[in-house]
Structure 1
């Protein structure tokens, strides 16, 4: 078989749109996670000029949703996105987060209303924008009723500083109680805040090797028209097939401490990548595009948000929206072995 071509777009800027929440905010079907550009992944490969080119390449490809947070850096990621937005604000849907403070040794939650208001104003300054399209609560503060935090966030919508609200459930594994489903606590929080102000989107991990959100969280979102932003849809890069078992990670790279990225576990999970590559070859696509197409297939309000720091991958990821998986493809993905290695 000849070299695999990379599935592209019909034309620049042509990308399916998907809606988030009752406000029906439209975004491109594939988003861009900006965190790797300045935080948590391989500091030696983080370059501001390349990050700006990556954001612009994604926008040119029709990607709209740019996902960041004040804690990434902290603050440096929002500053970078703010620079990238100059002259391109109307092309972007800006999503950022509050609720976590980064210290020297720990990350702590802060859901006090006064903090939320100050955090929003600071994010607006760093992003160099008058409004945040989606403001997400990164984590609920166990010391503050989530309704109080959410009420302060709702006030930001009334003030015109924020267009819509979302909640992150990416840390659900850490708070999972014995005998419960992974997202039970998140759903309880969602039910509580929904009574205060409508939830437009929930961000949670969802990928071929981490499908747990399909069990209860996605049905909750689907029943209410709430968008699901699929975090880590490429398994922190593993599902791209570009990582090799035994390769080292820089000390600052979060994967250096993740159980699924030991040499043993990366080798054990190779059949997952092999299966994605087999499907990709039939479509003239890449393993990453198949993995993203599977996420897109989970529902019309699901938006994968793959993170990258490189132009090439940002454009390739956007191209996944043009890949339609067949029943045979979906059956093969369903038959792939479950990923090995605990995240707990």
Structure 2
């Protein structure tokens, strides 16, 4: 698999990572299987998807414990990314950016992950009660101590109504500028997909101008862009999609033209003509692979991190690194209708 660099270029990862969150958090708990999750992580590493993205809050804690079981066997094959800054309570998730907490959280993550060093340590969310410079300074001390190799900032939770999008993007840029003055930002993680392209306006250009890797979260639109979900499909109450405005039966039906457009491109590349370019050559190409290839095409600093909890999906996602979209493909995707359903 193609490699992409993180930070000043000393760190490399496979062009497509593995989002480990669905194995322990946010999606239906009854469908989560520990043994299957372990096989999924091993399969991703076998395919060259070296970046494993987790967080202490996933579970909480159980996701890091699971990844730790893999790292104990294959630490040299993996680039481990975890996060701090969010505490999970019975009713709410709250930010905690106090320096003492950040240092304790790092030590706890190291124990759960069964490793001496975290490759990328991300601030999951800035604490409005603590100056972000203080939080980031504590994280920089972890780098100096050899516990962390690089730092990142996570802006995954920046979904908003159309009225709020511009203001939130501006706020994220200001936050990045502030922490950049304390210690270099190596990675920014935020949502980017065919149906959520907002990061292209300002956030991705900011990263490109500074050589900062952009970790594209939810590149498959919470599974919608795989084309495997049907309008009216029910989600269990503990599944985040049960509360997502784009996953009502009405909005899923309204957004089917996006999936149909991706499917047309997939069929064109997988038509059996034997062209031999990437995923072509008679092999099946999926809408998910087209969606991931579009994210990869947004720049050499972009690394999509699709979530997966089954071995089959991890292998399929990794294969998207070999798919090369044409100018016609990209133009067709650019002409697809904007996704409907917002947080208004």
Per-residue CA shift, 1:3-34, capped at 9, x if unaligned?
xxxxxxxxxxxx00001122441000000000
Q: Provide the residue aligned with 1:339 in structure 2.
A: 339
Q: Matched residues in 1 for 2:43 and 2:309: separation? A: 11
Per-residue CA shift, 1:122-166, capped at 9, x if unaligned?
000000000000000000000000000000000000000000000
Pair 69,121 (structure 1): closer, same or farther in 2 beyond 3 Å: same
Which protein has greater RCO, CA pairs closer than 8 Å, 6+ apart?
A: 1
Q: Matched residues in 2 for 1:279 and 1:95: separation? A: 32
Q: Matched residues in 2 for 1:202 and 1:54: separation? A: 25
Tell me, which stretches of 5 or more residues in structure 2 are unaligned? Answer: 271-284
Q: Provide the residue aligned with 2:139 in structure 1.
A: 153
Q: Provide the residue aligned with 1:289 in structure 2.
A: 289
1:224-263 correspondence runs (5 A): 224-263=210-249
Q: Provide the residue aligned with 1:301 in structure 2.
A: 301
Pair 47,174 (structure 1): closer, same or farther in 2 beyond 3 Å: same
Q: Provide the residue aligned with 1:113 in structure 2.
A: 99
Q: Where has structure 1 moved over 4 Å in runs of 4 or more?
A: 174-179
**SS of equivalent to 1:314:** helix
**Does the 8 A contact of 1:182 with 1:212 survive in 2?**
no
Tell me, which stretches of 5 or more residues in structure 1 are unaligned? Answer: 1-14
**Does the 8 A contact of 1:23 with 1:200 survive in 2?**
no
Q: Matched residues in 2 for 1:295 and 1:25: separation? A: 21
Alignment pair present for 1:320 and 2:320? yes
The normalised TM-score by structure 2 is: 0.94
Q: Matched residues in 2 for 1:306 and 1:60: separation? A: 16
Shift of 1:219: 0.5
Shift of 1:87: 1.3
Per-residue CA shift, 1:276-323, capped at 9, x if unaligned?
000000111100000000000000010000001000000100000000
**Does the 8 A contact of 2:215 with 2:304 survive in 1?**
yes
Pair 73,308 (structure 1): closer, same or farther in 2 beyond 3 Å: same
1:25-104 correspondence runs (5 A): 25-104=11-90
**Does the 8 A contact of 1:99 with 1:139 survive in 2?**
yes
Q: Provide the residue aligned with 1:193 in structure 2.
A: 179
Q: Matched residues in 2 for 1:176 and 1:67: separation? A: 28
**SS of equivalent to 2:73:** coil
Alignment pair present for 1:16 and 2:21? no
Pair 174,147 (structure 1): closer, same or farther in 2 beyond 3 Å: farther
Per-residue CA shift, 1:227-276, capped at 9, x if unaligned?
00000000000000000100111111000000000000000000000000
Shift of 1:330: 0.4
**SS of equivalent to 1:135:** strand
Q: Matched residues in 2 for 1:162 and 1:271: separation? A: 44
Q: Matched residues in 2 for 1:117 and 1:70: separation? A: 13
**SS of equivalent to 1:86:** helix
**SS of equivalent to 1:292:** helix
Q: Matched residues in 2 for 1:155 and 1:329: separation? A: 46
Q: Matched residues in 2 for 1:167 and 1:223: separation? A: 16
**SS of equivalent to 2:166:** coil
Shift of 1:44: 1.0
Alignment pair present for 1:184 and 2:173? no
Alignment pair present for 1:330 and 2:323? no
Pair 143,288 (structure 1): closer, same or farther in 2 beyond 3 Å: same
Q: Matched residues in 2 for 1:83 and 1:298: separation? A: 34
**Does the 8 A contact of 1:22 with 1:198 survive in 2?**
no
